[in-house]
Amino acid sequence: MTKRVRVRYAPSPTGFLHIGGARSALFNYLFAKKNNGDFVFRIEDTDVERNVKGGEESQLNDLMWLGIIPDESPMKPNPKYSPYRQMERLDIYHKYAQWLIDHGYAYECYCSEEELDASREEQYARGINAPKYDRHCLHLKEEEKEKFRKEGRKPCIRLKVEDHLTISFEDMIRGKVSFNNDDIGDWVIMKSNGIPTYNFAVVIDDHLMEITHVLRGEEHLSNTPKQIQVYKYFGWEVPTFGHMTIIVNENGKKLSKRDNNILQFMSQYRELGYLPEAIFNFILLLGWTPNEEREIFTIDEAKIIFDPKRMSASPSMFDQRKLNWMNAQYIRKLSDQEYLIFIKPYLAKVVDLEKYSDEELLFMGNMFKEEITFGAQIIDLLRPLFNYHLEENDEIKEILNLPSTPMVLHCIKHLLENVPDLEADTLKQLFKNVASETNTKGKFLYMPIRLKLTGQMHGAELVKIIKVLGKKEVLSRLNK
RNA sequence: GGUCCCAUCGUCAAGCGGUUAAGACACAGCCCUCUCAAGGCUGGAUCACGGGUUCGAUUCCCGUUGGGACUACCA
């Protein structure tokens, strides 16, 4: 019997869920579900300085919003693997770090930052390209340690990396990858403040939580040999690694949280009116392709067809236009009821929701359902109907000064007053009548009316605009 | 600089030794149309370079070039 597949998404709560994190979580989740395994949500909060209040909660909420539901998390712990926050596991790391020291695989280091810098500089000066820790503290005697402690120095713990060892592993995405240990210095596993570093804690946790597959961003590729060294010292089974391509911006650089040119937080997309299904689908296609031409997939379909072998090894550029297209596809598939709920927050920016029935609100929304790529767009599309403002430009003046314009406006006012209702068929007939009575058609007929009603050259279908505004308002605007 | 990763249209990419080198987004043109969209149709556009291996390389190997990641007592 093979081991149950267990994977994890382990963010540091230093910010909100962004595109890269969501992608990482998504592929881990799909991989777990494809294999009937567990998807674990763990918090890596060992960088105490950078932790953000509410980071964990928002990460988890945004994940669930996307439809990625962890099987285990700090909120939903399995006692066998608890706790799920690294800062609550400090005694565990201490125990394992001590074991490494006792077995000669790790040692205390009392070097100060200044001494470390000096050593690095000195190595550069000697023409060494890859300076590493000089093992100054490797064979410290107890008296020397005592002396340092009296000076007030607090030691960190370094892993004694094995010399002349080639560490290779079979990456799920990249195939065989090898590193030479001689390029890696004795790195810190426990900081002098008693908190483990990421590369150490991650190994302890992944082992203890029985993680079988580690799918993560390519930025971790060069961390992997360090981590494998720890596995090796403990004699633990090494999980299968898979390093996904990073997501880059238009300049080909890794998406940075400080990059303001691209929206990259889930919360921003949610607020703008992107649908979680669309984002899920879009991210799914970022670095992965299905074995068919179709590109629109539900989450449940993705769970079935996902195949990690089809993940790309080359970087993916984040293409907002394709996301927009994808989102538009999903918006159009919404039922009336879903669409109404979706659109209400944006309608509320333009109209007083209390004043309209759901039916009327839906009608307003539906004017632009085929047109918008995200929900908030409806605000600007709808606003001209309620905040009339006539643009002043030559084209508009020309239309308003057309010889036929006064006639057209006069005629429609007259006919509109006697119309029984504002249904589409009635209004279409009305326009036909205006056309024949004034002998105009096309833009000579519609544009003057559109400008009178909305002040703009373009917008939704005129018959719909009339219905939304109501007869009284339409007549009043035509009279201005 | 060093280590590692990557390289097909503008973008995401299929391809896995013999193909008219898919598809999607974007773009252009046409149709539809009061306008803007949407929709329909059509079109342009890609194998970085140089060596091998082979009857035959986009595909395999090696270089070159280019891009990226990492290079912390961050994760």
pLDDT at A374: 96
| A182, part of any domain | yes
| Gap from A174 CA to B61 C1', Å | 18
**Nucleotide showing the shortest C1' distance to residue A368 CA:** B37
- How confident is residue A17, by pLDDT bands cut at 50, 70 and 90? very high
| A368, part of any domain | no
Which chain B positions have some atom within 7 A of a protein CB?
1-8, 10-15, 22-26, 34-38, 67-75
| A65, part of any domain | no
Inform me whether the pLDDT recorded for A67 exceeds 70. Answer: yes
pLDDT at A61: 96
| A162, part of any domain | yes
Q: Per the structure, how many domains does chain A have?
A: 2
> CATH number of the domain that A448 lies in?
1.10.10.350
- How confident is residue A443, by pLDDT bands cut at 50, 70 and 90? confident
**Nucleotide showing the shortest C1' distance to residue A315 CA:** B6
In the predicted model, what is the mean pLDDT of residues A359-379? 95
Residue % of chain A over a pLDDT of 70: 100
Domain final position from A244, A278, A313: A244
pLDDT at A442: 85
A189 CB contact with strand B at below 7 Å: no
Which is more confidently placed, A439 or A120?
A: A120
| Gap from A221 CA to B64 C1', Å | 25
Inform me whether the pLDDT recorded for A259 exceeds 90. Answer: no
Of the candidates A398, A388, A356, A408, the residue with the CA atom closest to the CA atom of residue A454: A388
> CATH number of the domain that A152 lies in?
3.40.50.620
Inform me whether the pLDDT recorded for A394 exceeds 80. Answer: no
Which is more confidently placed, A348 or A403?
A: A348
| Gap from A473 CA to B53 C1', Å | 80
User: Chain-centre distance of CA A212, in angstroms?
Assistant: 25
| A152, part of any domain | yes
At A97-139, the pLDDT tens digits run 999 999 999 999 999 999 999 999 999 888 888 889 999 999 9
Inform me whether the pLDDT recorded for A306 exceeds 60. Answer: yes
A321 CB contact with strand B at below 7 Å: yes
Q: Is the pTM of the predicted complex or chain greater than 0.90? A: yes
A419 CB contact with strand B at below 7 Å: no
Residues in chain A: 480
* Lowest model confidence (mean pLDDT) among A1-15, A333-347, A401-415: A401-415
* Lowest model confidence (mean pLDDT) among A35-49, A58-72, A199-213, A378-392: A378-392
> Which whole-number Å values give the CA distances from A149 to A100, A144, A467, in the listed order?
21, 9, 82
| A176, part of any domain | yes
**Nucleotide showing the shortest C1' distance to residue A188 CA:** B73
pLDDT at A1: 57
Domain final position from A244, A268, A299: A244
| A322, part of any domain | no
In the predicted model, what is the mean pLDDT of residues A186-191? 97
A46 CB contact with strand B at below 7 Å: yes
In the predicted model, what is the mean pLDDT of residues A417-442? 83
Inform me whether the pLDDT recorded for A324 exceeds 80. Answer: yes
* Under 8 Å between Cβ of A14 and A52: yes
Domain holding A177, by residue range, is: 89-244
At A137-151, the pLDDT tens digits run 999 999 999 999 999
Q: Is A473 exposed, middle or buried (0-12, 13-18, 19+ CB in 10 A)?
A: middle
Inform me whether the pLDDT recorded for A176 exceeds 70. Answer: yes
Inform me whether the pLDDT recorded for A379 exceeds 80. Answer: yes
* Under 8 Å between Cβ of A29 and A63: no
A367 CB contact with strand B at below 7 Å: no
| Gap from A314 CA to B44 C1', Å | 26
| A165, part of any domain | yes
A286 CB contact with strand B at below 7 Å: yes
Exposure pattern of A319-347 as b/e (b: 16+ CB <10 Å)? eeeebbebbbbbbeebeeeebbebbeebb
Mean of the per-residue pLDDT values for chain A?
A: 92
pLDDT at A296: 93
Question: What is the signed CA dihedral for A153, A156, A161, A167, rounded to 10 degrees?
Answer: -150
Domain final position from A221, A244, A267: A244
In the predicted model, what is the mean pLDDT of residues A56-62? 95
pLDDT at A452: 83
